[in-house]
Amino acid sequence: MLDPQARALLDLMIERQVPPVHTLGPVEARRLYRERRSFTQPDALAVGEVRELQARGPHGAIPLRLYRPHADADADLDANVNTVLPLLLYLHGGGWTIGDLDTHDVLCRQLCLGSGAAVLAVDYRMGPEHPFPAAVDDACAALRWARAQAGALGIDVARMAVGGDSAGGNLAAVLALIDRDGDRDGDRDGDREVVRDSPPLVFQLLIYPATDMRAVARSHLANAQGYLLTADSVAWYRGQYIADPAQWADWRASPLLAADLSRLPPALVLTAGFDPLRDEGRQYADALSAAGSVAQYVCFERQIHGFITMGRVIDEADTAVALCAAALRRAFGA
């Protein structure tokens, strides 16, 4: 059964004739996504510090936003200013086409406060202006920059995780694969500030991730229409990001197709029951486990794609955020 609150939201969207994303151009889709977020997202919670930053990327600056939690009220104030924290590098969802630092600001604040860790949100380049693998390249550059600047940012390089939702979950999974195989020295873009031989990532938070660009899992048929993310919108997003179907099988686009899923950071894979991406998220968790990597899998059976950012109208979003924050605390040893 679909969650009644999710059903009410879908009915309201039909009543108000919200245009499906696949009927829009990228610029209009981005504008509407930014505008609509206030109707479904809860109010932004205050955190200890928010800083607007930039990383040097392969094709220019990459905007970043750093969140740090409140200082411990029981500890010395001066000590808290320089507290070294674990870090979650967060990659927003939006089909590699829409979304930005503002659309996921509330979620990043929630994860920051719930986990007690710093969160670094990445405004990576998107399609169609910057097609695959531009987003992957920017994610890699952001991680290298975060490691290089860890001292200045008050970040513990031995306690760093990657995470994201939907397209961001895809990028986080790919980033974990690349990092395992040693892309930590910045040779690709000439960044010489990066710390050599930095510790591996300790966790990957994959929220309803896209893991197989072929879209062949059964849930793509079962949930093809009527649940916000449709077969048409999946195809639209994929087309904005990857114009050439021959690239769908590239593991940097479809991490489920990677030849080796062993020796990866522990993962929490979270999916939604009425989501076209449900089964490929489950398949990725199963493939991680089969390869010997630690993976936990949780499906919110009554939910739709995107629900974790909809806490104003869907109560189970708060449950999902709390689950993710608790997993991060455990991973960081907090």
What residues are annotated to the active site? Answer: 166, 275, 305
The CA distance from 332 to 334, in Å, is 5
Residues 264 and 295: beta-carbon distance below 8 Å: no
> Going along 154-275, which residue ranges are E strands?
155-165, 203-207, 267-274
Residues 85 and 117: beta-carbon distance below 8 Å: yes
Strand 295-304 and strand 267-274: the pairing is parallel
- Type of residue found at 281: G
Q: Would you give the DSSP letter of residue 312? A: T
The CA distance from 308 to 213, in Å, is 22
Residue 210 makes CB contacts below 8 A (sequence gap 6+) with: 166, 167, 169, 170, 277, 280
Degrees to nearest 5, angle at CA 103 with 301 and 83: 95
The CA distance from 179 to 143, in Å, is 9
The position carrying tokens 């961001």 is: 168
Degrees to nearest 5, angle at CA 246 with 250 and 168: 45
Structure tokens, 215: 């879209």
